[in-house]
Structures are given as C-alpha cells and as structure tokens.
Structure 1
Amino acid sequence: MPACPAFHSHCIIEDIMIFTLTTRRAIRAAAVLLPLVLAGCASLSQDGGYSPVQSLVKERSGQDIQWVKSEDDAAGVADTIAPLLAKPLSVDDAVKIALLNNKGLQASYSGLGIAEADLVQAGRVANPSLSFGRLRRGDDIEIDRSLMLPVMSLLTMPFASKIERRRFEQAQLRAAGDALAVADETRHAYFSALAAQETVKYMEQVKVAAEAGAELARKMAAAGNWSKLEQAREQSFHADATVQLARAAQAQVAEREKLTRLLGLWSKQAAFQLPERLPDLPKAPQEIGDIEMQAMQNRLDIMMAKRELSGLAGSLGLTKATRFVNILDVGLMHNNYNQGPSRENGYSIQLEIPLFDWGGARVAKAEALYMEAVNRSAQLAVNARSEVRQAYAAYRSSYEIARHYRDEIVPLKKRISDEQMLRYNGMLIGVFTLLADAREQARSVNGAIEALRDFWIADSALKMAQTGRSSTAADSKPGASIVAAAD
C-alpha cells in the first residue's frame, strides 16, 4: 500500500475498502449465523398486542373497547356515543361510553406499546462495533481495524426474550384490569348519581310540606290559635328541610360530575339525562357456587402475579448463569503497514474478569426480588379470597335490606299515612299531624332509595371482586354524602 502524504479523506475511504475486503470471511460467517438468530427475533404486531386485552374485557364485562389512535378512530367513537347521550342513560350505556371515551383509560393502553417495544428490542441482535485506527510514525503508517460481535447478548437473548414476553403479558393483563376498574367505577358513580337525583326530588317534597306547615303555623299563631312554641318547632323543621335540600342538591352535583369525568364528557355533552328512578330489585339474589375458586381462576391481579413470579424466576436463572461472565465480545482484527506487502490478520476476545465483583450481590438481589414477589403473591391470594367473600356477604345483606324496605317499611308507612288521611277527613286529627306523617313517609322513601342504591353498588362490587380488585374500598359505605344529606 503506498504511503499517503497526508491524512486525507480519500485515504480513509481506501482503508475502509481494504478493511471490507479483508473481513469478507467474517461477513460470510455472519451470513450463516444471522438467519438462525433472526428466526427468533420478535417484530412489532399490527395492533400492539391489543386483541387479547379486548378479549379479556369482552369476556368479563360483555362490553367492547377501542384503542383510539387516529382522528378516524376518535370520530368513530363520537358517532357511537352520540345516540347513547341523546336518550336517558342506562347503566350499560354508561359503561360503554366510559370504556370508549375515558381518556385516562386510553392513556393506559399506551403501556402496551412500551412493553411490546421492550419485547421486540430484547429479541434483536445488538449491533456489532467497528473499530478503525490510523497511526503515522514518520513515513510509516499503521492501520488497525477490528469488528466486535456481542456474543454474550446472543447467548442470553432467548432468556431475555422470555422475560420480556412475560412482562408484555403482564402489561396486557394490567390494561384489561384498568378497563374493568373503569367499568366498576362507572357503575358505582351511575347508581350514586341516580340515587342522588331521586333524593333531591323527595327532599323537595319534604321542603314543600315543611313550608306549608310553617306558613299555617304562622297564620294560626297570628290568630291566637297556636302557641309560640309549636310555631317555632314548625319553623325550625322548615329551616332544617331547606338545609337538607341544599346538601342533597350539592351531593347530586358531586355525584353527577364524578360520572361525567368517568364518561370523558365535557362541554355540551355533560348535559346527559338519567332515568327517573333506580332499576327495580331482582326477584331473588344470585347464587354463586365456589366463589373463591372462581376468583382464583378469573381475577386478573392473580394472573398478573403468576406472570410476575414466572418472569422473576427466569430473571433469577439468567442472573445466576451470567454471575461470573456477563460481558463477552468476539471480533476479527486486521493490521497492515505501508512498508512491505505483509498483513496481519487475527481475532480478539473481550472478557470480563471476575476479580473484584463475583456477582454475589446481583444474585442476592435477584433472589430477594423473587422471594418478595412470592410473599406478595401469597398475600394477594389471601386478600382476594377475603374480598370476594366480603363482597358476596355485602351483596346478600344489601339485597335483604332493600327488599325489607320495599316489602315492609314503605308499604307500612303508606298504610299509616292513608289511615291518618281518613282521620283528618273525619276531623279526628289536625293538619300538623297529617304533615308530620307525610314527612315520615318521605324519610322512609329516601331510606328505600339508599338501600336500593347500595344493592346495585354491591352487585357491581361483587362482579369486580370476581375479576379483579375493586377500585372502591370494600369496607367503606357507598354514597356517604347522600346519606348525610338525606338524614
């Protein structure tokens, strides 16, 4: 090779061409190995792994979901929910709108793309490194060229791909769990908003009765037929009824806005309509066989814990396998000088020497992470069994309470009111006694509304407990603000 008088660009190009020719054997060897390696390489799917998520949600909720990725998808969602918002919403319509239009749920779907990208990256060969050097000593020019292949990453690729595959499956289960959680929260908010709407209507009736009683008491006191004490009592009840109506109206706004947020609505869409009353109580509560076994088989958090354990077990095995050697690069080298036709060819191996770090800390960390996941999964199974038992007990007790209100308390209060009306028509009792009975009947109706609302919330919580952890605390009383407002 003739000496280059200076370090010009055409010299570099010539050196690279020589290097390419001399590494032809390496390229041929790589051409034989690459098909074997690339056969197991992962590639990005068409839907980002979304189809299994759709199947899981459809199987457990009966509703379809959609990942909105483009303006056309958004327009399709808008066309789907528009007819549903044009009529009074049913609970199924509310859940359907939330699953399609909730922006937080759409954001969680992006985690699928991240997990799939990690999976694909783990199944691809790391790029080789090219080293090129040119050294000049007087008139002598030395050129060094080397091509390094990451052998260790090739050896560990199957293990890394399996680990990322399990993580991707976990991301799919997590996305399905988020969708089911949104459906559960939507059902809860729907029944709470509907009960709050009914509560306001009955509190308005109570206020009207209290206002009539206060006005009548004022006129009778002015005529000298009523004591100041009795007049003050009626005025006090009217003042309390006014405050209770304001609290009920405030609770109605809060519950309705909570439902609006879950539905992903804004502006004019927020003016949706709800039915006049809650759905009727079923004729009989549902009977469930081995509810704990069903929960262990169907709950997504249990399935995620199993995937996590399997993935950590594989990670622990990989850590132990690469405890002493986790860097191994093999490459081809080529040196030549401008003096003489001789060239030097060879290979190089870059190997980490376990002199100071024997990998004990990494193995100990992997073992600790695995045992942490084992105990966390065991506690999760204990909690799941307890949650599903508690959810079913709450479902049965709320059904009995709602049925008692429907069959006993409300009919009894109405019977008392009818009897008092007969006595009032016969001038056996006064108008204030009749008004007091009307207020008592309104309170019993409010209690029946709360009991029916609690049953439907318990029904939703039971469904969620069989498929995943409910977003609502199991020991919290639902609709506490409405109960306080109607008390």
Structure 2
Amino acid sequence: MNAMKRAWPAVVALAVPWWPAWAQTQTPTPPDNPALSEARQQWREANERVGEFPRGHIDLLKWEQRNLPPAATPARPGPALTADEAVRRALRLRPELFGAAPANPVQARERHLALLAHITRVRQAWQDAVLAAQALALQQARSEVADSGAELGRRMVQAGNWSQARLLREQVTQAREGLALVQARQAERGARERLARELGLTSASEVAALAQQLPAELPEPPATLDTPDIDTIASRVVAADATLAQQRLDTGRQVGALPGGLLEQLARAREGAVATLPSDGLPASAPVITDTRLTREHALGEAAEAQAALARAETERRSQAREAWGRLQDQHALARQTGTLMLPLVTAQEQETLLRYNGMLQSTWELLDATRERLAAATAAAQARHAYWTAWLDWQLLLAGGPYRATATDAPSASAGTASEDH
C-alpha cells in the first residue's frame, strides 16, 4: 500500500514510471533502426519537458499560457449602459411618440400602446445583448478548456501514455466546443446589432464599442417577491387596459339605451333554451329562443353581444394576469435556485477539486471536468436570470396596459453541457 501511495503522484503527473524497468527486460533495440531510435528520442524529449514541472503536462500548459503575449483588452468607455439609459437614447429617435396631448381617447390610447411597444422592444434587445455577450464569454472559457484537454491528450499520445482513441475523444470535444463558440459569436453579434438599431448607431466603430459598454451580466433578481392577492393583481391589470375601458364605455351606452328589463328577459330566454340541450350527448341543432319579440329587436341583440364580448375580454385579461404573475414567480424561483444555490455549489466543488489536484489526490481530467461543470452551471444561471427579467418585462407591460406577450422563458437545466466522465 505504501508503495502504491508513493507511485500515485507520478501517475497524477502523467509520467510513466514503469517504462525504464519494462525496457530493461526487452530485447535491445538494434542500433541501426532509425525509426525506433527516433521514436525513443521523441518520447524521451517529451517526458523531459514534462519533468521540468512538478505536476506534469497541465503545469506545462499553464506555463505556456502565462508566457504568451498578453491580449489587448479594450478599456470600458465610462459606466456601463443600463436598460433605462438605452430606452432614453432610443426614444430620441421616435419624435412621433411625443407632442401635444392627443385630441381624442383613441389617439391617446394608440400613442400609449406605441410607446409601450417601443420601450419593451428596446429593453428586450438590451437584455438579449447582455446575455449574448455573457454567453460568449462563458463559451470562450469552455472552448479554452477543451483546447487544453486536446493539447494535453496530444502530448500524452506523443509520450506514449495514451492511445489514439482517447485523443480522438478529446479532439471531438474540442471540435464541438469550437462550433458552439462560432454559434455564440454569431448570436452575440446579432443581439448587439439589434440593440444598435434601436439606439441609432451608424458606424461600425460605435457598434463595436457597444460590446464594451454593456454590463458583464444582468442584474440579480430581488431576494423575494411580494405576494399580493391574485384577484387584486388581476383587477389592477384589467383597470390598466385602456382598450377594455373604452369597450366598457361603449357597452354601457348600448345597454343604457335599451328599455328597462329587456336585457334581463333575453337572458332568461337564453337560459331556457340552454336547458333544452341534451345531457347525455351533443345537440342535433342550435338552441332556439321562442319569443320572437326578443329576436327581432336588433339593438337588443347588439347590446347583448357587446356585453358578452366585454365579459370574455375581461376574463381573458384576468387569466393573462394570473398566468404572467405565476410565470414571474416561477422564473424568480428558478433564477434564485440556479444563481444562489446551484452555481455556488458547483463552484465550491471545482475549488475543492483544485485543492485535491494541487495535493496530487485527483487527476488533471477530474479538474477539467469540474471546470466544465462550473461553466455549464454559470451558463444555466445566466439564462435563468435572463428568463426572469423577460418574465418581469412581460408583467410590467401588462400592468401598464399593454398587450400580453406570453414569452416562452423556460430556463435550461443546470446540468446541460456538463463534461463526460469517460476519462
């Protein structure tokens, strides 16, 4: 057992302690075999390079990365561009949303809805651009981990410690992460250009500078959400809808113009017709109101239809409010779960793996896998945070009297994209 413990650091360092003993038991290589002599010389040089570092290839890779010329990192030009500032800058390009008070309620409502649509579009573009930039940075890190794994595997094959099949697995992972990096760059560029169009940026230099003006990540969701009565919330949303308010006024005028009690008579007649429907199957024909006095009164029919349409619209609006509020609560819980629970746990796991790796108790591949898991969890946390703020934007649009967007904001699983355990 003590001998195995003494040998373990050498295994972690990716050396081959059994090679000299094995070589001594074999038939000596003929001196005139140039191919075998060159192979032995390459193996010897590779292991000599690794031997200069206490933990083998991984330290060699880190040393090479530290001694590369530093990449030029552009300085952030001033404070980060917030969503509110983006909205203010974008509104300067929409003079039609400003001016004197509209002449009638219809024009006022149309201008208000246009303003809400513009602000929502700008805020969504800002949120998408911030997420895309963060996702690109995280994918860049994932790609660098894959590059390190592939390079380490190549040197392992060169030293004779690995088979070509194991190297191919690392190279497939490297190619997959490289493809994801290209896609992340494409997504980031598209999101940045959409925001640039809203802000009125005209030159390529302005659009390029926008990448440095955005914050590194979206704001953290609040620790808790207020939990008011759901019916109170729905009533607030209904009251804020200017279209419903105008529809309520028009319906009231139509109903008020009818003789007293006429609408109630029509309601009773309809209830009687509904009572004739079969209870054990579908009806063979539509229900009929037998009182022809009620069916011949056109104003009565129009008022009844307007009243029913208003009831349907208010019911739909209340349902939308409950759905939007429920999704906001769900996305808040997911964002808090991934950002304040899952990500810290995976980060702590990576730190513990690093400590054990430094103590030569875990392998290089376990460290790379822990890093991949942490990057995957960080990506999931960023997407969950983005989903929360999208749900928040949908909710705010409802409260302001705007339309219901019903945006799909399902966050991905935190385990998506984690490293395989086949090393």
Which TM-score band applies after superposition, normalised by the shorter structure?
0.5 to 0.7
Residue 342 of structure 2 corresponds to residue 409 of structure 1 = yes
Question: Which structure 2 residues correspond to residues 231-246 of structure 1 after superposition, within 5 A?
Answer: 231-246=167-182
User: Which of 357, 373, 387 does residue 424 from structure 1 map onto?
Assistant: 357
In the alignment, what sits opposite 1:3?
none
Other-structure match for 1:94:
86
Distance 1:191 1:169, change over 3 A: same
Cα distance, 1:296 vs. partner?
Answer: 1.7
CA 1:109–1:377 in 2, change beyond 3 Å: closer, same or farther? Answer: farther
Does the 8 A contact of 2:236 with 2:399 survive in 1? Answer: yes
How many Å apart are 1:313 and its aligned residue?
A: 7.7
1:292 aligned residue (216, 234, 256):
234
Does the 8 Å CA contact 1:300/1:467 hold for their aligned counterparts? no
Structure 2 counterpart of 1:181: 117
Distance 1:257 1:469 in 2: 26
Q: Is the Cα–Cα contact under 8 Å of residues 309 and 374 in structure 1 kept in the other structure?
A: yes
SS at match of 1:285: coil
What percent of counterpart residues are identical? Answer: 27
Question: Any idea what the Cα deviations from partners look like across 1:41-81, whole Å, max 9, x if unmatched?
Answer: xxxxxxxxxxxxxxxxxxxxxxxxxxxxxxxxxxxxxxxxx
Q: Distance in 1 between matches of 2:360 and 2:322?
A: 55
Residue of structure 2 equivalent to 1:214: 150
Q: Does residue 283 of structure 1 match 2:216? A: no
> One-letter code of the match for 2:409?
K
CA distance in 1, matches of 2:131, 2:304: 47
The superposition leaves residues 7-63 of structure 1 with CA deviations (integer Å, 9 ceiling, x where unpaired) of xxxxxxxxxxxxxxxxxxxxxxxxxxxxxxxxxxxxxxxxxxxxxxxxxxxxxxxxx
Give the CA deviation at 1:110.
9.8
Q: Which one-letter code corresponds to 1:403 in the other structure?
A: R
Matches within 5 A, 1:130-141: none
Instruction: Give the superposition deviation at 1:430.
Output: 2.0
- What are structure 1's unaligned runs of at least 5 residues? 1-84, 117-167, 317-362
Cα deviation for residue 371 of structure 1 reads 5.8
Q: How far does residue 267 in structure 1 lie from its aligned partner after superposition? A: 3.6
Three-state SS of the structure 1 residue aligned to 2:355 is: helix
CA contact (8 A) 2:398 2:404 kept: no
CA–CA distance in structure 1, aligned partners of residues 162 and 125 of structure 2:
47
Code of the residue aligned with 2:227 in structure 1: it is E
Task: Check whether the contact 1:217–1:231 (CA below 8 A) recurs between aligned residues.
Answer: yes
Equivalent residues of 1:170, 1:307 under 8 A apart = no
Q: Is the 8 A contact 1:446 1:486 kept in 2?
A: no
Kept in 2, the 8 Å contact 1:291–1:388? The answer is: yes
TM-score (norm 1): 0.54
Using a 3 Å threshold, how does the CA distance of structure 1 residues 465 and 312 change in structure 2: closer, same or farther?
same
The one-letter code sitting in structure 2 at the alignment partner of 1:280 is E
**Whole-angstrom CA distance in 2 between matches of 1:411 and 1:436:** 16
Unaligned runs of 5+ residues in structure 2 are 1-76, 259-296
Residue identity matched to 1:278: L
CA 176–486 in structure 1, closer or farther in 2 if over 3 Å, else same:
farther
Distance 2:322 2:418 in 1: 30
SS at match of 2:313: helix
Q: What's the secondary structure of 1:282's corresponding residue?
A: coil
- Following superposition, the deviation at residue 259 of structure 1 comes to 2.5
Counting strand residues as a fraction of each chain, which structure ranks higher? 1
1:440 to 364, 373, 385: 373
Q: Does structure 1 residue 198 correspond to structure 2 residue 190? A: no
CA contact (8 A) 2:394 2:406 kept: no
Residue in 2 aligned with 1:165? Answer: none
Q: Distance in 1 between matches of 2:417 and 2:352?
A: 29
Q: Give the partner amino acid of 2:384.
A: A
Q: Deviations over 1:146-200 (max 9, x none)?
A: xxxxxxxxxxxxxxxxxxxxxx312211211221122222222221211111010
The change in CA–CA distance for 1:388 and 1:308 in structure 2 (over 3 A counts) is same
In structure 2, distance between residues paired with 1:310 and 1:264:
45
User: Who is 1:10 aligned against?
Assistant: none
d(CA) in 1 for partners of 2:257 and 2:196?
Answer: 44
Give, in angstroms, the shift of residue 431 of structure 1.
1.3
Q: Distance between the aligned counterparts of 1:389 and 1:461, measured in 2?
A: 12
